[in-house]
Amino acid sequence: MDARDHVNAFLMAGVLAPGGCVGPDGGVDLDALRHAVAERIPAGPRLAQRVRRAGRALVWEPVRPDLARHVRQVATVDGRAGFEALCARLVVTPLPLDRPLWELLVVPGVAPARAGVVLRVHHALADGLAAVELARALMDPVTDPVTTERASTRPAAEGPTRSERTSELRPGARARLRAFGEGLERTTSVLRRAVPPTALLGRVSRRRAVTFVDVDLTDLAAGAGAAAATVNDALLVAAAAAARSALLALGEDPPSALPTSVPVALPHRGRSGNAVGVMLVPLPTDAGDLVGRLRRVAGLTRAAKAEARTRGTFELTRTRLGTWLFGRLARRQRFVVLFVTNVRGPEHPLALAGARVERIWPVAALGGDVRLGVAAISYDGVLRCAVHCDADALPAVVVGRALGDELAAVAALG
């Protein structure tokens, strides 16, 4: 599904505090970092495999990663804004195909006495949930007892975990026929025109924008709970408000609902690093009655999540030919206008080569003709979000501000 204007990779940006491989001034000992990563690679076996063509097939081939190329330092950035701009460039920078499809970049200048890091993992290796597991494999838990006790009282975002399971039914002829019909309906849905033309859809340029937004997880969970909703529902409501603000800033009237694609991790992953269903949620765009919108979205997601897990992965992407066809149809679709993903992250702080990871933000890839995506991860008591959009089509500053304001409004409900 990669193309010149779409790099199908998951990016995690973080900030490291002094300690371990990070000196008091924020400088990083690359040798110490590479040594720590080398010791952890066996825990994530795909980190030591590359894709090789075998005739007409593509296969995984074991290789020994050259950590001088995989773990390296990039040019100094100018604070958080410079870090966001670097991430915006990286989301359109291909990963080399002659080596394992990941890299860990050290970024000076993110904050005083701090070091930035960016972990990029191609979706051939992992989806968002599996990418978090790979990141965990490279890190250690912070063993500060005070921090651990404080973190244990915080709520976790309700992104799916590996322990979640759904019941399995033996499909008979009727069940197989029904599954075929549902699969055909989902396949042809890509051709539907669910929304009028909008700035949220169109050819996606290579000039991207990334903006980070944070909100306290305890406050957000309490506010969402006051409306019988979840943290994930609150994120969806805020993403819809952000998209609405972007359209209004461009002089467009928002559609009454924004069909939004939300990945749902499947409980039975097997050997695959990618096992996600697709939940489609028509998010309301009216500006009033925040509690009412939260309740409506909560009702929609409860039904849609169970259905997505039952149906499994999207039928058209289960084969190589189907994926090729889907990639082309997706560039002209008007069925989905927004991507939103929320991954359950570590509840307790982690350390990379002895340096505490203070912050983590996920940046998910855009796809097809969709120009706006919002990704979130819960980490150490904070829901950390990243807006990723086409900078030539949408005002990223407006989107980020509106997302933060709406999340703050939900948190205030508690």
pLDDT at 149: 43
Q: Is residue 65 part of a domain?
A: yes
Same structural domain, 80 and 111 = yes
List, in order, residues 6 or more apart from 152 with CB less than 8 Å away: 347, 348
Q: Is residue 3 part of a domain?
A: no
Q: Which helix (H) or strand (E) holds 214?
A: strand 208-216
Task: Kindly state the average pLDDT of the residues 327-348.
Answer: 85
Same structural domain, 206 and 103 = no
pLDDT at 185: 55
Task: Output the CA angle 400-405-410, nearest 5 degrees.
Answer: 130
Residue 146 has pLDDT above 50, yes or no: no
Number of domains comprising the chain: 2
Q: What is the mean pLDDT of the chain?
A: 85
Instruction: Please give the backbone phi and psi of residue 203, each rounded to the nearest 5 degrees, phi first.
Output: -60, 130
Half-sphere exposure of 409 (CA within 13 A, CB side): 20
CA distance 8 to 229: 31
Would you tell me how many other CB atoms lie within 10 Å of the CB of residue 287? 12
- For residue 368, which of 266, 259, 285, 273 has the smallest C-alpha distance? 259
Residue 407 has pLDDT above 50, yes or no: yes
Same structural domain, 179 and 320 = yes
Beta bridge partners of 201: 370
Beta bridge partners of 211: 387
Task: Kindly state the average pLDDT of the residues 66-82.
Answer: 97
More confident residue, 326 or 349: 349
Same structural domain, 136 and 193 = no
Same structural domain, 202 and 91 = no
- For residue 186, which of 268, 278, 256, 255 has the smallest C-alpha distance? 278
Instruction: Please give the backbone phi and psi of residue 15, each rounded to the nearest 5 degrees, phi first.
Output: -125, 130
pLDDT at 235: 97
Same structural domain, 111 and 78 = yes
More confident residue, 196 or 154: 196
**Sheet of 208-216: strands edge to edge?**
208-216, 382-390, 372-379, 338-343, 257-265, 276-284
Same structural domain, 221 and 314 = yes
Range name among 12-21, 232-241, 265-274, 372-381 with the lowest pLDDT average? 265-274
Print the domain residue range for 382: 173-347+364-412
Task: Output the CA angle 30-32-34, nearest 5 degrees.
Answer: 65
pLDDT at 332: 77
pLDDT tens digits for 157-176?
555 444 433 333 344 556 55
Same structural domain, 139 and 224 = no
More confident residue, 270 or 377: 377
pLDDT at 189: 57
CA distance 155 to 16: 23
Domain of residue 127, CATH code:
3.30.559.10
| Tokens read off for 262 | 């939300």
Q: Is residue 157 part of a domain?
A: no
List, in order, residues 6 or more apart from 331 with CB less than 8 Å away: 203, 368, 369
Task: Kindly state the average pLDDT of the residues 376-388.
Answer: 96
Residue that the structure tokens 């499909």 belong to: 171
Same structural domain, 52 and 187 = no
136 neighbors 162 (Cβ within 8 angstroms):
no
Same structural domain, 132 and 177 = no
State the pLDDT confidence band at 101, using cuts at 50, 70 and 90.
Answer: very high
CA distance 278 to 305: 8
pLDDT over 70 percentage in the chain: 80
127 neighbors 159 (Cβ within 8 angstroms):
no
pLDDT at 8: 87
Residue 29 has pLDDT above 90, yes or no: yes
pLDDT at 367: 86
Residue 413 gets which letter from DSSP? Answer: T
Q: Is residue 76 part of a domain?
A: yes
84 neighbors 110 (Cβ within 8 angstroms):
no
Task: Kindly state the average pLDDT of the residues 261-288.
Answer: 74
pLDDT tens digits for 233-263?
999 999 999 999 999 999 999 999 999 999 8
Domain of residue 259, CATH code:
3.30.559.30
| Tokens read off for 185 | 């309906």
| Tokens read off for 323 | 């994926």
For 269, left (φ over 0), alpha (ψ -120 to 50), or beta?
alpha
Parallel/antiparallel/unpaired status of strands 102-107 and 355-363: unpaired
pLDDT at 276: 62
- For residue 367, which of 86, 91, 89 has the smallest C-alpha distance? 91
